[in-house]
Structure 1
C-alpha cells in the first residue's frame, strides 16, 4: 500500500511541475536526438520552416496567408507573395528533408506571383521528406519557365500523402505543372491526394510543356502515384505554329520518362 501512495505522490509532483512550466509562444521544441520538432501556430512559424529544413513540423491550427502574402504583407517577397520554402536567390533551392504533419488543418490564401524561384510551391523542393494530412488553397501566377506544384515544385524521393490542393494556377509560361507536385524524381510517392484547383495555361513559349492534375511529370520508374484524383479544370491555349513544341496533358500525370 505504501508503494502505491508513493507512486501516486510522484505522479502528482510531475503533473504539478508540468503545469508551472513556461509556455513557448513561437516554435517550441518538443523532442528528438536527431531532429527537432516544432509546433506551427502562426504565419511566422510557417515561414520559419526554412530555417531548419531537417525539422519535424506539426500544425496546431489553420494558417491564413491571405494578408501575409498580399503585396506589402509580412510574407510578401519582393512583390511575389509567398517565397517557396528552400528557394535561393540564384533561382535554385535547398531541399526540405524533414516532416510536415498538417493534422487535417488548412493553409489558406497562399499567393505566389511570378516567383523568382525555378521551383514553385509551398516548398521549392523536397528530398526524402514527408508531407501529410494537409490542405492548401490560394493562387499561383507565373510568366516564367518553372516547375510548379501547389505543395512542391520538385519531389526527389519524398512522400506526400493525404494532401489536398484548392490552389488555382494561372500561367503564361512553365515547364512542368501539377496540382500537387511539378515533377517527381527518384522514388517519390504521392498517395491519397486530390486537386480541386483549376490549371489555366495561355502559352507563348517554344518549350515542351507537361501538365497533370496531380503531377506534371515523372522522370523515374520508381515514382509512385496511387489513390489520387483531380476534379479541377485543366485549360491550355497553345498556338499551333510553335514548330516542334509538344504539350503533354492528363488528369493525373502529364508526362513520364524513365
Structure 2
C-alpha cells in the first residue's frame, strides 16, 4: 500500500529514491543518471541529466566572470548555485548576473510549471575557485532564485554579459575590455649639426660660407649650389674676406658634396695671402667647385687657398675664373699659391697673371700633386721674373708630381717658362703637356728649366722666342742640381720650336745631365747652336740610346744623340735597350707610328 501524502509532505520517487520537499538528490550525479531538485513548497521539481551538468561544470573557468567586474561587490555575498543563473548587487546601484543573463523580473506564479513539466536546462557559470582566482565569500543557505529561461543564449559558452539591473535608469556604460594599442614606430632622432665630423654644419648661403671663419676647426658641408654674386658689393667693393690667417689656419673640413660656389669676388690688391682660404693645416677640402671666381691680391695670391700647410688634403676640386697678384715678385697660383699638402684630382681652368713663381694650378709645390689637370692661361707681368708654368710655377726639391697634364697657354717676357713647369727641382713623372709657350730665355714645351729628374713624360705644342737663349721642344735648359748630375729618361717631344740661340727638338741647352731613352721629332728653327735633339750640350752631358728624326726636325746635326730617318724612327728595332714590356710601346696606328708611353694618355 502506498504511503499517504499531504500538502506539507510530498513523496516522490526518482530512480528508486524517495524525494522530499526542499531537497536535492543524487548530488554526485554520475553519468547516465538524473539529478532532481524540489522546491520548498513542493510545486517545482527540476530534473537535469547528469551528463549536461558535468558538461557545464567543465566550462567553469571559461564562463567565470572577469575580475574587473567581481571586485566591486560589497553588498551581498555571491551565492554559488550548481545550475541556476543568479543576479547580485554591485555597489548598490548595479547588478551582475551569472549564468543565462536576462533582466531581472518579478516571479510570475502563473508561469510556474506544473508537476508534470520539466524546467529547461540552465547554463550555469560558477565563480572561479583556483588558488589564483578571486576568493569567494561564505555561501549563506539561501533559496536559489528561479528565473524564466533567457530568450537568447550566448553562442559562445564562455561569453558573459554585464548589464545594469535597469538599463534605462543607469548612467554607467557597459564596460568592454580594451584592446591593447599597437606601439607607435619610434621617431628617428633629429640630426642637430654641431660641427663634428658626424654632424657637420650645413652651408646654404655665401654668408654661411664666410662664417666658417667663426669656427676654424669644425666640419662643414655644402647643402646646395651657392651664388656669391653679391660679394661684389661687400665691404665697399673689397668683397669676400679670406677665411683664416697665417697664424690661425683653417683646420677643419669642407665637403662640397658635388655642389658649386659661383661668382665669388675678392678685390684686395694691397693684401698678402689672398684666396677663399688664407691658410690651412690638418684640413680636408673635397668634392666641390668654384666657378667664375675673381681674386685679386698682392703677394701669395690664389684662386682657392693661398697657403696649404702640412697634412692638408685637397681632393676632387675644380676652380675656374681669374686670379691676379699685383706684386711683380709675388707668387700666384690658379688654385694654390704654396703647397705643402696633398692635391689629388684637382682641376684648374683659370686665367692667371703674376710676377714670380706663377702656375696654372700651383705656384710653388713642396709636396705631392697627382691625377690633376690644368687648362689655364698664364701670363708673366714682370720681365725680370722667373718660373712661369702652365701647371706649376716651381716644383721644389721635395715636390713630386705624377699622372698629371697641362693644356695651357704660357706667355710673358720673363725667364724659365714651360708648358707644364716653369722650373723643376723635384720629380715629375707620367705626365704630359700640350701647350703653347712664348717668351725669351729658357723656354720649353714641358719645362723651362730643369734642375732635377723627369721621367716617363712627353710634350707636344710649340715654343716661340723673340730673343734670348735655350729654347727646346721638351726642356729649355737642363742643369745640374748643386753639382749633382740630373736626368731626363723615357721621354719625348713632338713640339715645334722656333728660337734664337741654343735651340733643339728635345732640349735647347744641356749641362751636367744625363739623357736616356729620349727622342725628338718636332721642327726646329734657330740662329746659333741649333740641332736635331739638343741645340747645345757641354762635355758633361751623357746621352744614351736617344734619337732625333732628321727629316721632320729638318736638322742634320745635333749637340748630342743619333739621327734617324722617319722610317727608322717607326721601327721597334731602332730603339736599342728600350723597355717595350712596361714602359714603351709602338703601334703604327697610335702616335703616328712613333713609340709612346704606357700609362700616359697620348695626345
Deviations 1:7-57 (A, max 9, x none): x946x1224xx5xx6x9xxxx62574x886201111221111000100110
User: Which residue, out of 300, 311, 320, partners 1:166?
Assistant: 320
Q: Distance in 2 between matches of 1:14 and 1:31?
A: 23
Q: Mind listing any 5+ residue stretches in structure 2 that lack a counterpart?
A: 1-181, 398-603
Q: Which residue of 1 aligns with 2:303?
A: 150
In the TM superposition, residue 119 of structure 1 has moved relative to its aligned partner by 1.0
User: Which residue, out of 234, 240, 261, partners 1:107?
Assistant: 261
The equivalences for 1:204-219 within 5 A come to: 209-218=356-365
Between 56-65 and 115-124, the greater mean CA deviation after superposition = 115-124
Deviations 1:144-170 (A, max 9, x none): 2x1122110000021111000112113
Q: Which residue of 1 aligns with 2:274?
A: 120
Q: Is the 8 A contact 1:117 1:124 kept in 2?
A: no
SS at match of 2:208: helix
Q: TM-score with structure 2 length normalisation?
A: 0.33
**Paired residue total:** 213
| 1:252 and 2:391 are equivalent in the alignment | yes
Q: Computing the radius of gyration over CA atoms, which structure comes out larger, 1 or 2?
A: 2
User: Which residue, out of 294, 310, 334, partners 1:139?
Assistant: 294
Q: Distance in 1 between matches of 2:252 and 2:241?
A: 18
In the TM superposition, residue 130 of structure 1 has moved relative to its aligned partner by 0.4
Name the CA shift for 1:122/1:110 in 2 (closer, same or farther; >3 Å).
same
Q: Distance in 1 between matches of 2:321 and 2:252?
A: 23
Q: Which residue of 1 aligns with 2:222?
A: 59
Q: Distance in 2 between matches of 1:31 and 1:164?
A: 24
Q: In angstroms, what is the RMSD of aligned CA positions? A: 2.3
Q: Which residue of 1 aligns with 2:232?
A: 70
Structure number with greater CO (CA < 8 Å, separation at least 6) is: 1
Q: Is the 8 A contact 2:287 2:316 kept in 1?
A: yes
Q: TM-score with structure 1 length normalisation?
A: 0.75
| 1:228 and 2:393 are equivalent in the alignment | no
In the TM superposition, residue 140 of structure 1 has moved relative to its aligned partner by 1.4
User: Which residue, out of 186, 192, 196, partners 1:13?
Assistant: 186
Q: Mind listing any 5+ residue stretches in structure 1 that lack a counterpart?
A: 1-7, 204-208
SS at match of 1:183: strand
Name the CA shift for 1:82/1:121 in 2 (closer, same or farther; >3 Å).
same
